[in-house]
Amino acid sequence: MSITEQWINTEERLLHEADSLGALLERLRDYVSPVLIGSEEWDKVLERAYGLPVTMAAFPFGFEIPLHDSRPGADLGVSLVGGSRSETVFEKKRKSKDADPSISGIAGLLSEMEPEDSALRRVIGRKMLLEYDVDQMPTGMPPPPGVFVYPVEKRLIGDGSDRSLQELRTVADAVASATGWELNEAERRQVDQVYLAMQPDMEMRAIGAFPSRGRGIRLAATEFRKAEDVVGFLERANWPGQHAVVASTVERFKERGAFAYAGVHYDVTENGVGPKLGLSFFAQEGQWLKEIRHWTPLIDGIHEDQLAVPEKLSELVAWSSGSDALPGKSGSFVLVRGIHHIKFTLVDDRIEQVKAYIFFLIFAWPLTG
């Protein structure tokens, strides 16, 4: 059974399990420590997830956990894939007479990614991530999700070519449009500058926007192996923060053998890159790691440097427990829990936040026909 056949089968089975992603999450509560997501915070997660199709659970989904904060909150991230049953749900909502603008934008982006010969599909395929702010969600109307797309591997490398630059512009324009605004020429020039600051061995691996946080494109460049590579990129992109703090942080964790490669996240506006810098660490070349042993050096380093709440770090270790059998109404599933990456947020001369991006994967069992 191919990967595509597997997710189609899982989607079909999930339709018999619950009528929404939120209803399915209710059954997964025992797998999520209340130290990571508290009772009230879990209810907020469910509130956002009740409006999402259960078939989204056939693809990776999970939570952004603030490890530096003792409050047990989280944001919700879900995958949306072209050609899936979930896309059909979004498209149906888009065509309704009272369609939500954010739903229309997301469905419209999926539609642009559908033709095999489209420029978007060649660069980013047919998948995106929706990130729902939950942790400090205000009362009243919930904010629309952040929208992120991911170029296929080795597509947007830092080769400085006109082709790559045009492809990045096309993707950035499409993401901005999907979140309700249009890039102006000043914003496009700043996006260009970040791309041109990359070296040939670097990749642009994520482009996104948060419509509730004002104008701006978030870009993520990856494949950094050494501190000097990160600092060189920061200098060329004119990041206004303290480069020495970034260098010492990367070097310290490099000496621990705590990561395979790092990523740098910028928020780009017409005035340039913002003061906040995201610094993500990936434990292995693969990004869906279910075994905690890969993360032990990084977690130990975070603990020793007192960058996170110790109880949360302990629960993060317990979270990454591999695979479990998950009984269902339609038969058995395999439930996988792991860590995708851990991100530091630096402002000026300090590490302000440390967040873990943890995931669920659900597969219908048996895995073969």
pLDDT tier for residue 291 given thresholds of 50, 70 and 90? confident
pLDDT digits (tens, 9 = 90+) for 114-159: 999 999 999 999 999 999 999 766 666 788 999 999 999 999 999 9
DSSP string of 40-107, one letter each residue: HHHHHHHHHHTTS-GGGGGS-EEEEEETT-SS---EEEEEEETTSHHHHHHHHHHHSTT--HHHHHHH
- At residue 285, what is the residue type? E
Report the pLDDT averaged over residues 249-258: 97
Is pLDDT of 368 > 60? no
Does the pLDDT at position 367 exceed 90? no
Give the integer Cα–Cα distance in Å for 4 and 252: 41
Token pair listed for 58: 């056939």
Structure tokens at 147: 């929208």
Which of helix, strand or coil describes residue 1? coil
- Summarised one tens digit per residue, pLDDT across range 304-355 is 999 999 999 999 999 987 789 999 999 999 999 999 999 999 998 899 999 9
| DSSP state for residue 195 in the 8-state scheme | H
Residue 105 has pLDDT above 90, yes or no: yes
Cα(179)–Cα(172) distance, integer angstroms: 11
| Short-list 262, 273, 291, 314, CA closest to 65 | 314
pLDDT at residue 292 is higher than 60: yes
pTM equals 0.95
Question: What does the longest C-alpha to C-alpha distance in the chain come to?
Answer: 57
Note the pLDDT of residue 366: 85
Joined together, the tokens standing for residue 298 give 């990084």
Residue among 342, 286, 327 nearest 64 (CA): 342
pLDDT of residue 55: 98
Q: Indicate whether 265 pLDDT > 50.
A: yes
Strands 217-224 and 146-149: unpaired
Residue 177 sits at the vertex; the CA angle it makes with 173 and 179, to the nearest 5 degrees, is 120
Q: Is 203 exposed, middle or buried (0-12, 13-18, 19+ CB in 10 A)?
A: buried
How many CA within 13 A on the CB side of residue 306?
Answer: 0
Q: Report which of residues 1 and 5 the model is more confident about.
A: 5
pLDDT at 140: 64
Residue 159 DSSP symbol: -
Summarize pLDDT for 165-211 with one digit per residue, the tens.
Answer: 999 999 999 999 999 999 999 999 999 999 999 999 999 999 999 99
pLDDT tens profile 49-67: 999 999 999 999 999 999 9
Give residue 312's Cα distance to chain centre.
20
Token pair for residue 252?
């310290």
